[in-house]
Structures are given as structure tokens and as C-alpha cells.
Structure 1
Amino acid sequence: MYAKFSVSRDTANDFIRLFVNRRAYSMQAQKPLPNGKVPYFLARDWTTKQPKPLDADVIRMHLNGDVTINLYAINPETQRCKWVAIDGDFDGAVEALFKLQWELKQDGVEAAIEASRRGGHLWIFAETPLLASECRIYIYNLALKLGVPIVGGGLKQGIEVFPKQDQIEEGEFGNAIRAPLGVHRKTNRRYWFYDAPTEPLPQLAYLNGLKKLTETELRSFIQGMTLPENYKPPIREPYVPSPFREVQQEFRILDYVRPKTKDHRNWWAPCPSCRQAGRDKSGDNLAIQIANPRYYKCWAGCSADDIRSALGQPLRKKRMA
């Protein structure tokens, strides 16, 4: 069982200064689903259905252990981030994170390692918000120089770098990461930063004491560098259905649901099957791939057959030869 705390508003504001770069956030479900997953849902105002702004009260609840939230790295108005987080959850991940931490220190960059359920997170904090694209150039080149694997570029195992995008459009959120110092609902445990006592106040004091990365330093580190070719984001191409499928009246999920929001990869819409069962009150369980809307998935576990049946468009059974 995890420890409960009662932090002050000042402590919550201290956390905000370090970690919160935009006010949108997502919240982890309190209990696992039948499939064992404990998903996160974008926090919304129940009346307007708009993203709910993160405030000190929510941060206090997170630090106290009442809720668990995810944070988004990039502010879409500036394309900048307050921090870079490197997530490692593969065999040898913790050793790789310590290797990166040591190499960063050679550049004069102080980074903190946070334990996690399957490995750890390495956090770098900025003196002022830095361009996400420049942060990614620095970390990707540093990791490859050290031989640390990075997810993507043909690899399925390796570190993941947050922010995962160079920039995001208005209305997009990018990828979120679990906010530190809270409770992971899958394990009902807190995961702390190394090198500080395991309570919110000394943890935040330790993080505040770290030297912060400046824009001048970052730009000197990446002079002449670009994001490695294998990790450059693909150019988005609009989905164009084939003429044959058009004649066959191809099923299009977007003809039946209305997206409520989007991120860099997906539209998010109400799941018809969840709605039929009285679930999905937030109306965003269904992810629909922007690049190819034939691909969709309900994050509450409904199958494609469930979704199609709820719409009165059941999947056609393949004829046996």
C-alpha cells in the first residue's frame, strides 16, 4: 500500500513550476480494466466537454495519492517544453539511463533518475522552456553516440524520448507521461527519484537544486546537428481510398462518429459500443488513425465487431472456399 500525504498549496505550486508547461492533462483510471490495463483519459469539463485546466488542487490530489495524472510536454503556442523525460523499460534500461546521466553531466547537464514500474525515467529540466525540436536533436544524438537504443528507426526496444514530437498543432496534445511523485494505479505504488528522501517535499527540494539547462547551452551542444535520419517524423499523406473499395461502399467509421479532439496521430471520438453499454461518458474512448481512418481502436476494450454491431453495420463474415 502506498503512503498518503497532505501537501500544501505551496508544494503543489512548486511542482507546477517544475513540471507543468501546459494546462491540459489526462487522468489514470482508479482501477484496472478486466484486461488488466489501467488507461488514462483526457480530463474534461463535464459541462463543456473541453479539456479541463490543470490547477494546484489537482496537483495536490496527485501528490497526496488521491488521483494519478499524466503530463503533456509541449505547449502548442510556443512549441517549447520545460523538461525532457527519457523513458526506459527494457532489459538493461536502468543501466542505460545511468549511462546517459553520466554523459549529460560531462556536458554540465544535471539530470535526475526516477524509478518506474519496469525501469526508470531520466528527467532534464530547463531554466526557461526550450524548443522541443532542439531538445530531441540533443538527446537522440547523445543516445546514439553512447550506443543506447532508441525506439523507432527499426527498433522496437529502447528508450523513448518525451517530447515525442518536434511540434504539435493547435488542438493536439502529443504523448503524455505519468507525472512524478504520484501513485501508479496498476501497482498501487509510488516511484521516487533516486538521491532524495521518499516524500514529496524533499523530492521537490532535490529537483529544484539541480542545475537547469539553458537555451544557450543547448544550442551550443547541437550546433551542426540534426535529428538522425531514421528518426525524422514521416511526412503525413492524406488517406485516399482505392476506387475499387469506393464501388464496394467501403465502411468508414468517420461517417458514423464525430471526433471530439485529436492528437498528432489520432482522432478521438465516442465509442458506439461503449455508448450503447452506458459507458464512455467523456466521449473519447475511440481512437481513429488520422493518416488512415480505416484503422480504429476502442481503448476500453471493445472489439471492431462490437463497434460495427452497435452501428448496425456488422462485419461481413468471410466466405469459406
Structure 2
Amino acid sequence: MPTHFCVSRQTAEDFMRLFVNRLAYCIQREKTPSDGSAPYIKQKRPLDLGAVRMHLNGDATISLYAINPNTQRCKWVAIDADFDGAVDALFQLRHELKQDGIEAAPEQSRRGGHLWIFAEEPLLASLCRIYIYNAALRLGVPVKGGGLKEGIEVFPRQDQIADGAYGNAIRAPLGVHRKSNRRYWFYDADVTPEAQLAYLQGLKKLTATQLETLTQGMKLPEAYRPPEPVPFVPRTPILGQREFRILDYVQTTGKQDSRNWKAQCPSCGEAGRDRSRNNLGIKISDPRFYVCRAGCTKEEIRAALGQPIRKAAMA
């Protein structure tokens, strides 16, 4: 069993200053599914000191979002690695960053490790990603994506997010992972929340001027750039027929990621599922393309709308 702590309000405040860039967060569920997984559930209430103390004590486990959509900036960069040789790759990357004057903190994880970089003030997410991607590829450290299935993942995982969007969350350090029932500590400090936070506070922080200098003339490597948006050009309908438009039949939630609007899947809704109203993803650049993340087929979605697909004109 992991050690249980009883941290002070001051310790929780120290954690928030380092890690919290926006008050949206998730809580990891206890192991309940048959596969032993412990998914994260987005919380409606904003993160507060009480939730942070529960995380540090070991009573709950939270995950945090990197980017604040109001500024497109982040307080930290976290590099996640869980492939063969991941820990060696992270320490190699840490050494490279140090040559650029950046102090990074290695953290243990369930399947590999994380490497954290902290900012003196929130930094543009796009510049952080440009720097890390170029540094990793310069060293030959694999970066997931761009044709590679294994490699490091960089949080923030987007250059920017839309207003009301979240991006990708990462498990906050120093808590108990509910799947393994273990804490994963930073390597270079004693294993108490107070000692760990004191170590992290003592690290030299990356400044905006330093990052701008390091990334001057750099771009995100081409293989990892998001695709350029393609303008939606509706097809010419068959005489007497109107082209089916999914957006005529569903109400988007106002939430979206970098590529898709979110809406309730009509088929899921008909079956009493998708209460969060976000199972249906509709491609922003071309709304003819939509998919249910719960696995409903296009035929099932159209049937639930009372607009079955005609065999001669699949859409």
C-alpha cells in the first residue's frame, strides 16, 4: 500500500503554483472495469486546494491540462515515454536540455518515465513544442506520430486549443496511480510531497526570452505539423435530391478539439447512452465526415435520424 500523507494548505498552494495553469481537471476512477483500467472523469467544479490536498494525501488522483485557452500558454512541458529504452532516452534528452541551460526533472512512471520542464512564466505552447520536437529529433530520440507508433509524447499535445476546449490531460505528479496503487516520485528528491516540491521549486525555470532565443528560425518538423485545413466544398446533389448534412440534424455542444466538433451521437442517444453529448465527432474542415467514438456505424446514425442511407448514394 502507498504511504498516506496529510499535507498542509501551504504544500497544496506550492503544488498549484507549479502545476496548475487552468482550473479544469479530471479525477481518476478506482479500478472498476473488467480490464483493470482506471479512466479519468472530467470534473464540473473547478480545481481547488481541497482537491489538490486529496491528491497529495493519496485519497484521489487528478490529471491536469497544460494549455490555458485564454492565452494558449502553459506553465510546464511534460515529456512522456513508455517504450523500450524510454528511461535512457529521457535521461539523454535531459542532458541535451541542460546544454541549453534548461533544468528538467525526471519522474518515474508505471511503464517508463516523464521529464518535466517548468516555466518562470506561462510560455506559448507552440514554441515549447517546436523546441522539444527539434531537440528530440536532433538526438535521435523517437517522437510518436509522423509515422512512428512508439516514441515520446509531448504535453501540451497541441499548439493551441479553441475556447471551451481542453486538449489532453496528464496525470498530476506525486499522487497515487489507481491502476498500480503506487506513487511515482521524481528521482532527485526524498519521497515526501514537501521534499519533492522543494526540489522542483529549486530548479531553474525556463524563461520566455530563453525559449524565443532557442527556437529562433525553428519550425515544428514537417512530419508532425497538423494538416492544413481543406475548405469544405459540397458535392453537387443528384437532381431532385438534397445532400445530407449531419449538422442539419444534430446540435454541437460548443466543445471541439483541433479537428472536430462534438455532438451527441443520435444512435447512442436513441439507446439511452452518450449523456455527455460528445460521442459524435464531426470534421470541422468537411462536415460530411463524422464518426461515433462508441462504434455506431454511419448506417445506424442515419437510421436514428430518420434519414437512412440510400444504397445508390452512400453519404
TM-score (norm 1): 0.83
* Residue 73 (structure 1) aligned with residue 66 (structure 2): yes
C-alpha separation between the residues in 2 aligned to 1:35 and 1:266? Answer: 29
Alignment of 1:69-148 (within 5 A): 69-148=62-141
C-alpha separation between the residues in 1 aligned to 2:109 and 2:296? Answer: 30
Distance verdict in 2 for CA 1:248–1:192, change over 3 Å: farther
Structure 1, 27-36 or 150-159: larger mean CA deviation: 27-36
C-alpha separation between the residues in 2 aligned to 1:183 and 1:289? Answer: 37
Q: Secondary structure at the match of 1:140?
A: helix
Offset at 1:161? 1.0
Q: Which residue of 2 aligns with 1:170?
A: 163
Alignment of 1:232-271 (within 5 A): 232-240=225-233, 242-243=235-236, 247=241, 250=244, 252=246, 255-256=249-250, 258-270=252-264
RMSD between aligned residues: 3.1
Offset at 1:84? 0.7
C-alpha separation between the residues in 1 aligned to 2:204 and 2:238? Answer: 58
Q: Secondary structure at the match of 1:218?
A: helix
Offset at 1:251? 7.9
Q: Which residue of 1 aligns with 2:48?
A: 55
Q: Deviations over 1:144-188 (max 9, x none)?
A: 110111112222211111112222221222222111112222222
C-alpha separation between the residues in 2 aligned to 1:41 and 1:119? Answer: 24
* Residue 213 (structure 1) aligned with residue 229 (structure 2): no
Gap runs ≥5 in structure 2: none
Distance verdict in 2 for CA 1:110–1:252, change over 3 Å: same
Structure 1 counterpart of 2:291, which letter? Y
Q: Which residue of 1 aligns with 2:22?
A: 22
C-alpha separation between the residues in 2 aligned to 1:24 and 1:206? Answer: 26
Structure 1, 280-289 or 11-20: larger mean CA deviation: 280-289
Quick check: 2:252–2:261 contact (8 Å CA) kept in 1?
no
Gap runs ≥5 in structure 1: 45-51
TM-score (norm 2): 0.84
Q: Which residue of 1 aligns with 2:3?
A: 3
* Residue 296 (structure 1) aligned with residue 252 (structure 2): no
Quick check: 1:21–1:81 contact (8 Å CA) kept in 2?
yes
Matched residues, number = 310
